[in-house]
A and B are shown apart, each in its own frame.
Chain A
Amino acid sequence: MNVALLDRTTSQNAIQAVIDCDVHQAARSIADLRPHLSERWWRHIETYGLRRRLGPALGPAYPKGQPGAMRRDAWPEGGGRAGSDLGLMQRQHLDANHVAFAILNPLTPTGEGMQNPEFSAALCTAVNRWQVDAWTSRDARLRASIVVPYEDGPAAAAEIERWAGDPNFAQVLLLSRTAEPLGQRRYWPIYEAAERAGLPVGIHAFGYGGQPITGSGWPSFYLEEMVGHAQCAAALLTSLVMEGVFARYPRLAVVLTEAGFAWIPSLLWRLDKLWQRMRDEVPDVAEPPSTTVRRQVWLTTQPMEEPEHRWHFRDIVEWIGTDRLLFASDYPHWDFDDPAQAFPVALSPEVRESIAFANAARLYRLR
Chain B
Amino acid sequence: MTLAPIDCDIHPVLPGLASLAPYLDPHWREQIVARGLDEQESISYPKNAPLTARADFRAPSRAGTDPRHLAAEALDPFGTGLAICNCLYGVQLPFSEDLGAALASALNDWIAREWLDRDQRFRASIVVPTQSPARAAAEIARLAPDRRFVQVLMLANDSAPLGNRAWWPIYEEASRHCLPVGIHAGSSYRHAVTGIGWPSYYIEDYAAQAQSFQSQLASLIAEGVFAKFPDLVFVFIESGWTWLPAFLWRFTKFWRGLRAEVPWVAAPPAEIVRARVRFTLQPIDAPEDPAVLLRVLEHIGSDRLLLFSTDHPHWQFDGTAAIPACFPEALAQRVLAENALETYPRLAASVRGGNAPPPPGADAAEENGPGETR
A and B assemble together: yes
Chain A minimum-CB-distance residue to B50: A277
Give the size category of A's interface with B.
35 or more
- A4 → chain B, closest Cβ, in Å? 13
Contact call B200/A274, Cβ cutoff below 8 A: no
List A contacts of B146 (CB < 8 A). none
Query: Across the interface, do B215 and A231 meet the contact criterion of CB distance under 8 Å?
Result: yes
Contact with A along B187-222 (1 / 0, CB 8 A): 100111111111111111011101110111011001
In the complex, chain A residues whose CB is within 8 Å of the CB of B270: 308
- Whether B195 pairs with A228 at a CB distance below 8 angstroms is yes
Q: Which 3 A-B pairs have the closest CB atoms?
A: A262-B246, A235-B194, A270-B285
Residues of B within 8 A of A238 (CB): 194, 199, 204, 207-208
Are the C-beta atoms of B214 and A219 separated by less than 8 Å?
Answer: no
A176 interface residue per 8 A CB criterion: yes
Q: Considering the complex, which residues of chain A in the window 284-326 have a beta carbon less than 8 Å from any beta carbon of chain B?
A: 303, 305-309, 312, 315-316, 319
A177 touches B51 (CB 8 A): no
Within the assembled complex, what's the spacing in Å between the Cα atoms of A309 and B299? 8
- Please determine whether A275 and B203 come into contact, CB atoms closer than 8 angstroms: yes
Closest to A180 in B: B197
- In the bound complex, how far is the Cα of B210 from the Cα of A277, in angstroms? 17
Work out how many contacts link A and B, with CB atoms closer than 8 A.
246
* A-side contacts of B27, CB under 8 Å: none
Residue from B50, B201, B218 within 8 A of A228 (CB atoms): B218
Let me know if B216 and A216 touch, CB within 8 A: yes
User: By the criterion CB–CB under 8 Å, are B218 and A271 in contact?
Assistant: no
Q: Of all chain A residues, which has the CB nearest B212?
A: A215
B249-271 contacts to A, CB under 8 A, are 249-255, 257-262, 270
Q: Are A211 and B196 in contact (CB under 8 A)?
A: yes
Contacts A/B (CB < 8 Å), 29 sampled:
A65-B260, A177-B196, A181-B200, A183-B200, A214-B212, A216-B156, A216-B159, A216-B219, A217-B160, A219-B215, A221-B223, A224-B161, A224-B215, A226-B258, A227-B247, A231-B215, A232-B194, A235-B208, A235-B211, A238-B199, A239-B199, A266-B240, A266-B285, A267-B207, A274-B207, A277-B50, A308-B249, A308-B252, A312-B299
Which chain B residues numbered 84 to 111 have a C-beta less than 8 Å away from chain A? none
A272 contacts across to B, CB distance below 8 A: 287
B222 touches A182 (CB 8 A): no
CA A232 to CA B158, docked complex, whole Å: 17
Report yes or no: A307 in contact with B157, Cβ–Cβ below 8 A: no
Contacts of A49 in B (CB 8 A): none
**In whole angstroms, what is the CA distance A193 to B200 when docked?**
23
Q: List B contacts of A282 (CB < 8 A).
A: 201, 203
Query: Do B191 and A227 touch (CB < 8 A)?
Result: no
Query: C-beta contact mask, A250-282 vs B, less than 8 Å → 1, else 0?
Result: 000000000010110111011111110110111
Question: Smallest CB–CB gap between B267 and chain A, Å?
Answer: 14
Neighbouring A residues of B200 by C-beta, 8 Å: 181, 183-184, 239, 242-243
- Chain A residues lying within 8 Å of B161, measured Cβ to Cβ, are 214, 216-220, 224
A212, A222, A235: the one within 8 Å of B191 (CB) = A212
